[in-house]
Every structure is written in structure tokens, then in C-alpha cells.
Amino acid sequence: MFSTDRNIETIGQLVEVLKHYIGLQGEYVKLDVIEKFVRLTTVLIMAAVLFLLIIITMIYFSFAAAFALAPHTGLGWAFSIVAVFYLLILILFVLFRKQWVERPLVKFLASLLMEK
């Protein structure tokens, strides 16, 4: 009574559509993962380049500051003053790493990876 040829054909079509849908969902997931990987890689490369440029700039500014202080304090003391300045920045960075680095980084990565 329930197993007419038309019902079997409809169920067969439904199974085929379902298989096609599952295949498309799998492709969508692959493309989404690839897109997020490319975006993350791009951000990491840009951050690395920016970090390298900042480091090089800071080295030159450090030498400039030390040589500018040298006539007033002597060359050894000038380099020591610059080193103490960087030590203070390091201590502040370690103390406030959650507020300055971890939280913004987590928010950024979450927005980058969760965005559709």
C-alpha cells in the first residue's frame, strides 16, 4: 500500500539530493578553512614584517639617543640609560601583558576566525 513506484522514486531522489547537499557542505567547510588559513597567514606575515621594521627602527633610535646623551653623561652612561629605559619597558610589558597583548590578540583572532 505504501510502497508504490512513485514513493520509491521520490525517496531515491531525496537520498540523491541529500548526498549532494552533504557533498556541498563538505566543500563549503573546506573552502571556509582555507579562507581562514590564508587570512591568518597573511596577518602573521604582515605582523612579522611590521615587527622586524619596528625592531630595526628602535635599534637606530637607541643608538641616536645614546649618542645624543653621550656629551652630557659620557658614552658608557648614555648606553646604560638607554638600556635601563628598555628594561623599564620590558618590566611594564610583563606586568601588563594580559591587558596589552593577550586580550587584544584573543579578540582579534576570535573575530578573524569566527567571521563568516
* pLDDT digit string, tens, across residues 58-111: 999 999 999 999 999 999 999 999 999 999 999 999 999 999 989 988 888 888
Helix (H) / strand (E) containing 98: none
Q: Give the closest residue to 70 by CA, choosing from 53, 56, 82.
A: 82
Give start and end residues of each alpha helix (H) in the chain: 5-73, 75-95, 97, 103-114
Q: For residue 111, give Cα distances in angstroms to 10, 29, 74, 116.
A: 43, 18, 50, 10
Cα-to-chain-centroid distance, residue 98: 16
**In sequence order, what are the residues at sequence separation of 6 or more whose Cβ sits closer than 8 angstroms to the Cβ of residue 67?**
75, 78
pTM value > 0.85: no
